[in-house]
Amino acid sequence: MKRVGMLTSGGDCQGLNAALHGVAKALFECYDEEELEIYGIQDGYRGLINGEYRMMKREDFSGILCRGGTILGTSRQPFKLMRVVDENSVDKVQAMKENYKKMKLDCLVILGGNGTHKTANLLCGEGLNVVTLPKTIDNDIWGTDMTFGFQSAVDIATNVLDCIHTTATSHGRVFIVELMGHKAGWLTLHAGIAGGADVILIPEIPYTIASVCKALRKRNKMGKRFSILAVAEGAISKEDAGLTKKELKAKRAAMPYPAISYKIAKELEEATGQEIRVTVPGHFQRGGSPCSYDRTLSTRFGAAAAQLIVQKQYGNMVALRNGEIVPVPLSEVAGKLKTVPKDHSVVQAAREIGVCFGD
Ligand code: F6P
C-alpha cells in the first residue's frame, strides 16, 4: 500500500487544483486503486497540525484542472512560529509528525511558496518524506525558472492595464496600477511590459519621484495625453531603501495611505500638477481559472512529483529549469528568494524601449 498526503499552503493562486490533479492522476496511473491511498489535508499545515484530513478518491480530482483556488483549502502558518508552542500548548512540529504517522504516510506532497518551503524543509529534517511543488503569483521561489500561478496573474494584471489604458487615454490622465509583489517585482515587470506601462516601479530598483516626474514630462513633451505606471506593492524609494527593515516597517505603518501607490500619486500630483488616479486590483490577481500555460506547467510539475514519489526521491522540489522539469533539493531552496536582478534581460529590454524604472 502506498499512502500519500497532500496539502496546499500559503496564499492561493491559479493552478493549485491543476497541480493536485496532475499528482493524483499520475499516481493512479502508477498504482492500482486498491494499492493507493491519497489523503487530502485541509487548509495547509493547519490541517496537518490539527489532524484535519480526508481520504480522497479518483473522482475527487475530476473536473478540477481548470478550477481556480484549491479544493483542499489553504492557510498561512508563519514559519517563524512553527517551533513556538502555542497558547493551547500545542507543539506544532510534534503534532504534524504524529498526524503523518497516524495516516501512515509514505510521503507528503506540499504545494506552496517561500514560507511553505521553509517548513517543508523543517519537516524533512524531522525525518518526514516530502516532495514539494512551487506555487505563487510572485514567481520568487529560488531554484525554479517559473512557478505556477505567475502567468495567470500576469494575464489578469495585463488585462487591468489594458482597461486602464482606454480610460486614461480618454481623460488624458496619469494612472497608477498597483500590482502584487512585496519583495519581488516579477509580476509588475512582466505585466508592465505586456500592458505597455510607461513607468515600472519594483522593489529591486528603488525610485526617486524626480526621475518619475522626468519620465512624465518627457511624455508630455512628446504630446502624449496620458501615462501609465505599473507599481509593485513593495516599490521603495531610494530614501527608504537606506532604512533598516525595522525602520521601514514603522515608516510604512505610520504612512497615512492604504498603499504605497497613493503616496506616490500624491507626490507626483504635487510635483507635476497632473491629475492622478490609482487602481489596485489586489486579490483579483490570484483569482479565477488558471491560464493554459499554468495548467500545463502545473500538470508537468504534478506528474514529475508523482514520479519522485514512485522512485522514493524524497526531500525535493520539482522545478522548471531551461524548459525541463528537474528535482531540486529542499535544503537548497528553503530560505532563499528569487528577486529580479537589476540587469535582467527583461529589465534591459524594457529600458531599451524607453520604460522608466524610476532610478
Ligand atoms: O504571496 C502571494 C501574494 O499574493 C503576494 O503577492 C501578496 O503580497 C500577498 O500574497 C498577499 O497576501 P494575503 O493574501 O495574505 O493578503
- Tens digit of each residue's pLDDT (9 = 90 or more) over 286-344: 999 999 999 999 999 999 999 999 999 999 999 999 999 999 999 999 999 999 999 99
Question: What integer pLDDT is reported at residue 343 of this predicted model?
Answer: 97
> Each residue of 51-75: pLDDT tens digit?
999 999 999 999 999 999 999 999 9
What burial letters (b/e) apply to 195-230, b meaning 16+ CB within 10 Å? bebbbbbbbbbbbebeebbebbeebeeeeeebbbbb
Mean pLDDT of 174-197: 98
Mean pLDDT of 237-258: 95
Question: What integer pLDDT is reported at residue 88 of this predicted model?
Answer: 86
Distance in angstroms (rounded) separating the CA atoms of residues 5 and 21 = 14
pLDDT of 86 over the 90 cut = no
List pocket residues of ligand 1, CB cut-off 6 Å.
11, 76, 113, 136-138, 180-182, 233, 286
How close is the Cα of 134 to the center of ligand 1, in Å?
15
Residue 138 annotated among the catalytic residues of the structure: yes
Q: Work out the number of other CB atoms within 10 angstroms of the CB of residue 76.
A: 14
Mean pLDDT of 145-163: 98
pLDDT of 243 over the 90 cut = yes
Question: What integer pLDDT is reported at residue 87 of this predicted model?
Answer: 85
Number of H helices, E strands in the chain: 13, 11
Residue (of 126, 124, 107) closest to 6 by Cα position:
107
Closest atom of ligand 1 to CA, residue 113: 1
Of the CA atoms within 13 Å of residue 1, those in its CB half-sphere come to 7
Band of the pLDDT at 189, cuts 50, 70, 90? very high
How close is the Cα of 152 to the center of ligand 1, in Å?
15
How close is the Cα of 28 to the center of ligand 1, in Å?
33
Band of the pLDDT at 229, cuts 50, 70, 90? very high
Nearest CA to ligand 1 atom 11: 11
Residue-averaged pLDDT of the chain? 97
Question: What integer pLDDT is reported at residue 22 of this predicted model?
Answer: 98
Cα angle: 283, vertex 286, 289; to 5 degrees = 130
